[in-house]
Amino acid sequence: MQIQTPAWVKHAVFYQIFPDRFARSHHPHKKLLKNATWEEWNAMPTLQGYKGGDLWGVIDKLDYLQDLGINAIYFTPIFQSASNHRYHTHDYYQVDPMLGGNSAFKELLDEAHRRHIRVVLDGVLNHSSRGFFFFHDVLENGPHSPWVDWFKIHDWPLSPYNGEYPANYEGWAGNRALPVFNHDNPEVREYLMEIAEHWIQFGIDGWRLDVPFEVKAPGFWQEFRNRVKAINREAYIVGEVWGDSREWLDGTQFDGVMNYLFAAPTIAFTAGDRVVMEQVQDRSYQPYPPLFAKEYAEKIQELLNLYPWEIQLTQLNLLASHDTARLITIAAGDRASVELATLLLLTFPGAPSIYYGDEVGLPGALDPDSRRGFPLESDWDLEIFDYHRKLISLRHAYPALRTGDYRVIFAEAMMYVFARVLGDEELLVAVNVGTAPAKASMIPTEAGLNSRFNQQLFGSAEFEWSQDTEVASLQITLPPRSGCILRHFSCK
């Protein structure tokens, strides 16, 4: 079977937005909570408080995202809910009124598409919430409810709020606030499929699927793909799976997953022993212990061998998300760790995803702290911002950085060098994660490279060619904790 994935994703740079925390508007058409007393924008976030970000605020920020080089947005859930993160869905057909409702989302979608920015929504199809109409009917009417078989009910009475009694129904991860759907019920299955179809027809460009590995019903995700792709064959389907995802990346289900298998070794390599263990130990990825270049190369090669190339090019690569601490906090505030990891992210096959605020150095420990309000410009780390913008621009400028072959050239001690090759276009990326200057000496032709790299696109390396024999060798010297990108430039 020939695997087909959306062409646009291979050229996308994603930006992940947590809507309550990105931008708060003063839109004249806002009807709900116009004068609400929200949590202070810059105050430490809480588990249950709202800061009042909305979709009109995102519209106001689209020019900023376009200038940064973003051409795709992944939103955490936007549907009506009684939680700031909105994973507790009340109504899958209504965008939360606090965000502006369906009309604000339509306006956002149109404005984003006018700027050639794609929009992917978060699909929470494993579980709903206590406020979901169908489950609420069960709470009101017990075994007489027509929706009783939509959920996994074990006994009566149900106890949705009082933890002194057994819930008597299955909640996600034992959480009685999140009743799990009975996906073996054909009515449930059809309901969820129609939700997916509805929003694709509305105009969204894909779905990010929350905990899809929890859905065990045979053929569910195959049917999901078939029905979504029947409406838009270029729709992106990406699953939240943290580990080995071959089960879902066979070409019949997802186009990619959130690539924590890239994030973990990349953080372990670039941040090394700076990693603050309490920020990572209870997560489903392991950015520790520190890695040397050779170990990092081995892990990256294993990852690149794990899935077909067509899938590799549509993986959603990331360094942080709403489910992790932010990298600058994981790395104990070390800016170089963020910059080096970002260089590796933006030169890796697949679609890079930047968690809102990471591009301006926003810190944040584990949830809820990793979900802070987007900072005022006066609080930005402009060096990190400039670093991101330059690398995103280079990724857009050179197709090899997006879809070219990935070849490890040199990996010793703290120095890691690889090439991205697409036809005649060859780029060399070098990283020194050590605290002392480092030198790499290599023979590019041994890796099948033809270019005599003579132009530095990024960084402050020193490089020279020598030809003691018939074969030319290249020496690159990098300052401590730095990286570079080289290419061949011809004056012809």
Amino acid at 21: R
Burial label, 473 (beta-carbon count in 10 A; 0-12, 13-18, 19+) = middle
316-355: string of b/e by CB count within 10 Å (b at 16+)? bbbbbbbbbbbbbbbbeebebbbbbbbbbbbbbbbbbbbb
Catalytic annotation on 210? Answer: yes
Strand partners, 483: 431
**442, 450 Cβ separation under 8 angstroms:** no
**69, 30 Cβ separation under 8 angstroms:** no
Catalytic residue among 20, 122, 210, 358: 210
Catalytic annotation on 240? Answer: yes
327 Rama class: left (phi>0) / alpha (psi -120 to 50) / beta: alpha
> How far, in whole angstroms, is CA 113 from its chain's centroid?
20
Catalytic residue among 20, 240, 334, 359: 240
Neighbours of 148 (CB within 10 A): 17
As annotated, the active-site residues are 210, 240
